[in-house]
Structure 1
Amino acid sequence: METKTKSKRKKHPEQFKLEAVRLLETRGERTVADVAAGLGVAESLLHSWKKKYGSAAAQVRKERGGETAEEELMRLRREVTQLRQERDVLKKSVAGLREGPLVSPYELVDSEKAAFPVAALCEAVGVSRSAYYAWRGSTPSARELANERLLAEIRSIHVENEARYGSPRIVDELRDRGHQVGKHRVARLMRENGIWARMRRRFRHTTDSKHKLPVAANLLAQNFTTTAPNQAWVGDITYVWTAEGWAYLAVLLDLYSRRVVGWAMRKSLSRELAVSALRQALTRRRPPNGLIHHTDRGSQYASQEYRGLLHQHGARCSMSAAGNCYDNAVAESFFATLKKELVHGCAFETRSEAYDAISDYIENYYNAKRRHSAAGNQSPINFELANSGRLAA
């Protein structure tokens, strides 16, 4: 007697559902069936998500004024910093009223300037900085002026790097620009003025390791240190949401400098995606025999075509132990950085738009400009040029 097996219902991430509702609400002349087909889901699912998320999503967008969640978080953190400063200033003011004769706003600013930024104090008590300095009958102190100039430089670096740098990297950038600054001073100025780096979110796996293809031993064994380029590469695949649907990104990084040596994007999670990234890396780097190529156990990497290409170029295949994310921590860390610094702050309308943004991030920012702690706080390209001299930028 034939028995029927119950198929598992596919689980969709919350973000996917919210984006699906947004597409449904802004579909224009497209039908519900068109939207469902584009997303690869049933119309009934779209209707149920619309019922559950539609009004809530619209309200959130209205309240945010078009902000992304990342932008809203950073704005709220700045506001919290400002409110805390104002609260503490007001506490000091009330305490002063109870303990003695009335003090003017200017006297309060003057008495608390060692504990709070002058700008924050003036704003809290409702006077301008110029009025305060005029009352004091003097110009700002050398330290105050230096802090204002330093803060302007910090803001400039923060904007140039699109809020991707926290205080440690900003300190390195300031020192490269000739400023002799301490890390605690920079961290304090950033904290007091609500300047924060973007937040990192949880990483989710993309590749499918449940297959019957042969897998390789773990040659890397979590040793992510090399002494020269092209001794070991690590790779992985992630996904990026666009209004057209998912796009998939495969990358390969050189452990020596953490440079992205090969990458590819496609609209489907296929073997060809991984192969394209590998071909690009092989063409760009021309590695010698013996290169260790490490990935997880995904079917894309275990395929005959992929492993054949590695063998053809004298590379040794290495794969993570089953279910051990730490074995491929460098590749996963890159994706976490990419998502934090670019993807989570964007709403891509098309896959082409996502491709262009990620291409610019990898080639013009991450490889060429972004400081990496594993590369001596230099960019991957600068680290290779300074230490090996064997590779052209």
Structure 2
Amino acid sequence: MAKHKDQFRLHSMCRVLRAQRSGYYAWQAKPKSKRTLADEALLVLIKQSFEESRSIYGSPRVHCDLREDSVLCGEKRIARLMRKAQLRSVRGYKRPRFRVGMPATTAPNRLQREFTVALPDQVWVTDITYIRTHEGWLYLTVVIDLYSRAVVGWSMNSTMTTELVLDALMMAVWRRRPKTPVMIHSDQGSQFGSDDFSRWCKDNQLVPSMSRRGNCWEHQCGC
């Protein structure tokens, strides 16, 4: 009745619910119980722990957090108060699934595990990985100069496409501006075996090189 008093008249609600107005006024004047006051004070601590965890902690972790601060309460009580306050923890994300297609064989293995390079901008290695964030999974492409092991280009996107790889290579070419052709070594991912990737490498003096399928030792420098 107190929740809907702005929408309906008290007299009408009492008549429909067969309640006495005197009982409603007596309930309003009744002070809060010790349990209710304790729950309100505990909820303040729960919200503080929940917000400091960036909405990650559920009731078990909040319970451990409060116990470390010498706050004695049960986990079920914390779970009840969190449900009442609609405090829901951020659950883990499922790892993205990949479709396995035919391996790309557009370039031979020119690197041949020669991971020691005498000069910069002779050999670059690149690969794609994925990172979990609060917004979901993001794909990251990194280009590394094999001479210094420095990152010369990178790109991040929510989809794993050829453009993701080309953006990282474009950054590397723009930053380094190599004077001579550069070998770019990768695995046999479909992005590195696409026609767009081959044409872009040809137009920018990059010589593709690919490790054998399923052989991480030939591509460990880019992992």
2:186 corresponds to which letter in structure 1? T
Whether 2:51 is the aligned partner of 1:61: answer: no
Aligned counterpart, 2:11: none
Aligned counterpart, 1:322: 213
> CA separation in 2, counterparts of 1:211 and 1:228?
35
Provide, for residues 42-83 of structure 1, a one-character-per-residue CA deviation record: whole Å limited to 9, x for no partner: xxxxxxxxxxxxxxx8355336639xxxxxxxxxxxxxxxxx
Give structure 1 regions of 4+ aligned residues with deviation exceeding 4 angstroms.
Answer: 204-209
Aligned counterpart, 2:140: 249
Bigger strand share: 2
Deviation at 1:306, TM superposition (A): 1.2
Aligned counterpart, 2:159: 268
> CA separation in 2, counterparts of 1:242 and 1:295?
25
Q: CA RMSD in A?
A: 2.7
Aligned counterpart, 1:225: 116
Provide, for residues 28-47 of structure 1, a one-character-per-residue CA deviation record: whole Å limited to 9, x for no partner: xxxxxxxxxxxxxxxxxxxx
Whether 2:201 is the aligned partner of 1:310: answer: yes
Provide, for residues 362-391 of structure 1, a one-character-per-residue CA deviation record: whole Å limited to 9, x for no partner: xxxxxxxxxxxxxxxxxxxxxxxxxxxxxx
> CA separation in 1, counterparts of 2:146 and 2:96?
21
Structure 1: unaligned runs, 5 residues or longer: 1-25, 27-56, 67-203, 333-393
Aligned counterpart, 1:293: 184
Q: In 2, are the aligned partners of 1:218 and 1:319 still within 8 Å (CA)?
A: yes
2:65 corresponds to which letter in structure 1? G
> CA separation in 1, counterparts of 2:100 and 2:216?
12
Structure 2: unaligned runs, 5 residues or longer: 1-49, 51-56, 67-94
Structure 2 length normalisation: TM-score? 0.56
Aligned counterpart, 1:4: none
User: CA 1:64–1:266 in structure 2 vs 1: closer, same or farther (change >3 Å)?
Assistant: farther
2:206 corresponds to which letter in structure 1? A
> CA separation in 1, counterparts of 2:145 and 2:96?
21
Secondary structure of the corresponding residue to residue 240 of structure 1: strand
Q: In 2, are the aligned partners of 1:206 and 1:239 still within 8 Å (CA)?
A: no
Secondary structure of the corresponding residue to residue 275 of structure 1: helix
Aligned counterpart, 1:19: none
Aligned counterpart, 1:237: 128
Provide, for residues 72-125 of structure 1, a one-character-per-residue CA deviation record: whole Å limited to 9, x for no partner: xxxxxxxxxxxxxxxxxxxxxxxxxxxxxxxxxxxxxxxxxxxxxxxxxxxxxx
Write out aligned runs for 1:1-393 (5 A). Answer: 58=58, 61-62=61-62, 65=65, 210-211=101-102, 213-332=104-223
Aligned length: 140
Provide, for residues 198-227 of structure 1, a one-character-per-residue CA deviation record: whole Å limited to 9, x for no partner: xxxxxx999876336443111111111111
Q: Which protein shows a greater Rg?
A: 2
User: CA 1:206–1:260 in structure 2 vs 1: closer, same or farther (change >3 Å)?
Assistant: farther
Deviation at 1:270, TM superposition (A): 1.1
> CA separation in 1, counterparts of 2:159 and 2:127?
15
Q: In 1, are the aligned partners of 2:107 and 2:208 still within 8 Å (CA)?
A: yes
Provide, for residues 177-206 of structure 1, a one-character-per-residue CA deviation record: whole Å limited to 9, x for no partner: xxxxxxxxxxxxxxxxxxxxxxxxxxx999
User: CA 1:218–1:281 in structure 2 vs 1: closer, same or farther (change >3 Å)?
Assistant: same
Deviation at 1:316, TM superposition (A): 1.2
User: CA 1:58–1:301 in structure 2 vs 1: closer, same or farther (change >3 Å)?
Assistant: same
User: CA 1:208–1:283 in structure 2 vs 1: closer, same or farther (change >3 Å)?
Assistant: farther
Bigger helix share: 1
> CA separation in 1, counterparts of 2:97 and 2:127?
9
